[in-house]
């Protein structure tokens, strides 16, 4: 088990991507191999379990790279899904900044980044559905950075 965790940790740095919303319409979004965010694996056990239970992965502004702190969350979901036959719908979301069209595309990139990551961890593509809601379903209706950071997310619905 320790060997698998080490391999997972070693590979995870090379297989991630994070997305955010842009008011300019341009994306600084990668191919799913970048690393963003801060504090690699900075959760205690209780906080990590809370994040896993929430089924939510957050993204930085104008990015579709998975943040390093969200890797253990996705690894836990991949472990639950791989080989189970259960299906998951990955919903991509954005904050309110940017055009509707841009945010729909960005939400889709975020959801697809999570999809690719789960597939790299053994989840079959036939188990995964991707949908983008753009800015249409905010988790927080506020109009400030705190609200926007809660709205830049992918949600795993299963």
The full set of domain ranges for the chain reads: 2-157
What are 19's strand-pairing partners? 64
pLDDT tens, residue by residue, 112-154: 999 999 999 999 999 999 999 999 999 999 999 999 999 999 9
The pLDDT score that the predictor gives to residue 97 is 96
Q: Where are the alpha helices (DSSP H) in 82-129?
A: 100-120
Q: Would you say residue 19 has pLDDT above 60?
A: no
Lowest mean pLDDT among 27-36, 76-85, 137-146: 27-36
What are 130's strand-pairing partners? 90
pLDDT class for 43, splitting at 50, 70, 90? low
Contact assessment for residue 149 and residue 57, using Cβ atoms and an 8 Å cutoff: no
Please tell me the pTM assigned to this model: 0.74
Homologous superfamily of domain range 2-157: OmpA-like domain (3.30.1330.60)
């Amino acid at each position: 088990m320790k060997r698998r965790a080490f391999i997972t940790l070693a590979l995870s740095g090379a297989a991630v991507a994070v997305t955010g919303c842009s008011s300019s319409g341009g994306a600084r979004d990668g191919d799913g191999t970048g690393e963003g965010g801060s504090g690699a694996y900075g959760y205690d056990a209780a906080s990590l379990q809370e994040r896993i239970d929430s089924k939510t992965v957050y993204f930085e502004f104008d990015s579709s790279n998975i943040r390093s702190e969200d890797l253990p969350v996705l690894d836990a979901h991949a472990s639950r899904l791989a080989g189970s036959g259960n299906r998951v719908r990955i919903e991509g979301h954005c904050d309110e900044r940017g055009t509707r069209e841009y945010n729909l595309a960005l939400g889709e990139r975020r959801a697809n980044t999570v999809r690719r990551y789960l597939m790299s961890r053994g989840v079959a593509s036939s188990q995964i559905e991707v949908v983008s809601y753009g800015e249409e379903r905010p988790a927080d209706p506020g109009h400030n950075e705190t609200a926007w950071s809660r709205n830049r997310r992918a949600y795993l619905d299963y």
